[in-house]
Amino acid sequence: MKKGIIGHDGIVAEVTPSGYKVSIVSKSACASCHAKGLCSAADMAEKTIEVKTSDTGRFKVGDKVCVNLKESMGMKAVWLVYAIPAVILVTFLLYLQHLGASELATGLTVLGAITVYFFFLYLFRKKIGRHFSFEIAPSEEDN
């Protein structure tokens, strides 16, 4: 794996005129543990990532591929989904406590502020998504 690149192995699920849809099995660190059947912490989920490219003849459905993203884009996603909401939460919480608002009002306002933030992320998802470009390459397992 190249430095500064985040990669996930997946399988081409669909070839579209604009690129590929790749199915990736996301699993927690303990999902590969031999004792996962005895533990409730094992977690696996299948996700589909759309990779836009003009070279749609390179792979076919069922091919093993690696979907890559620049590490800086991963950090941008972390900021959008974790860091900014945490700042909003702490800011509203401290400000409303300083004003002497009740705990119920503070809690509901903080939840409302976070909800509004994620609603705006949802509204602008296509515009934000244009800043995240995935690249597709043959899987390193095949090499």
Whether residue 45 contacts residue 24, with contact meaning beta carbons closer than 8 Å, is answered with no
* pTM of the predicted model as reported, rounded to 2 decimal places: 0.65
Residue 52 pLDDT > 60, yes or no? yes
Under the banding of pLDDT at 50, 70 and 90, the label for residue 136 is confident
Handedness of CA 33, 35, 38, 39 (dihedral sign): negative
| Residue with the larger pLDDT of the pair 59 and 32 | 59
> Which domain does 51 fall in, by range?
5-142
Total domain count for the chain?
Answer: 1
| Residue with the larger pLDDT of the pair 141 and 93 | 93
Report residue 63 as tokens: 């091919």
